[in-house]
Amino acid sequence: MIMQHAIASDKVILLVEDQPDDEKLTIRALRKSNLANPIAVARDGVEALDFLFARGDFADRADKPVPTLIILDLKLPKLDGLAVLRALRADRRTRLIPVVVMTSSKEESDVVASYELGANSYIRKPVDFGEFLKAANMLGVYWLLLNQPCPSVPT
């Protein structure tokens, strides 16, 4: 299920997260950082890819721009985060979207695999929500305000 949290804008953030609590907290943290961008949420890997490639329920997104930032959890139902990352890095339309992996795991293998598959950042979700707020604030400011994205590739 996809929820649009703000009016459609060209700078959509895609949050791929299966835990409702984490979804709610992440969105709260981003909003607390004064980021007004629309946030789309995908609850599993398949849904995330459907959204990105305008398939299935999201066929109507074919003419809409791809998200500006993807916040990706690794442990997901159906298709896990690493598989989503691999699929979107393999596609010309999505291969340049900044992807921030945000997960509970700090297993070295997960970190290495994420970077190897082309993640731009790897953040471990802290238990302390205060820390979480700081992290969300920093990543929002960096990727949405400071970072100069790649000009859209002509299709």
Partner 1 sequence: MKVVTKQQLAMSTIMATAALIAVAVWWADSNVGKATRSQIAATALARSLTELRLVTFEFVFKGERRALEQWHVVSDRLDNQLAALARTDIFGEKLAPMLLRRENVKYLWAQIVKTPEQDIRLRRLLTSQILVNQQANLASAYELTATATQRIQNAQLLSFTIGASGLAVICLIAIGFSVLLYHDITVPLRQLQRAARSTASGQLNTVFSVERDDELGALSHDLQAMATTLRTLLEEQRKASQKLQLLNQEMESFSYSVSHDLRGPLRSMDGFSLCLLEDYSDKLDADGVDALNRIRAASQRMGQLIDDLLALSQVTRAALNVSQVDVSALAREIAATIDHENAGTPVNWQIADGLTLQADRSAMAIALNNLMRNAWKFSGKAVQPVVHIDRCARGGKHWMRVADNGVGFDMAFADRLFGAFQRLHNVSEFPGTGIGLAIVKRVIARHGGEIVAESRPGHGAEFFFYTESVKP
Per CB under 8 A, residues contacting partner 1 are 19, 21-22, 25, 28, 74-75, 103-107, 125-130, 132
Q: Which residue number, 117 or 135, has a Cβ lying nearer to partner 1? A: 135
Minimum distance between the CB of residue 129 and partner 1, rounded to whole angstroms? Answer: 4
Shortest distance in whole angstroms from residue 10 CB to partner 1: 30
Q: What gap in Å lies between CA 71 and CA 18, rounded to an integer?
A: 12
Q: Which lies closer to partner 1 via its Cβ, residue 65 or residue 126?
A: 126
Q: Which is nearer to partner 1, 94 or 104 (CB)?
A: 104
The encoded tokens of residue 127 equal 């238990």
Handedness of CA 114, 61, 50, 1 (dihedral sign): positive
Tokens of 98: 């900044």
CB of 26 to partner 1, least distance (A): 9
CB count within 10 Å of CB 140 equals: 23
β-pairing, 39-42 vs 69-72, is unpaired
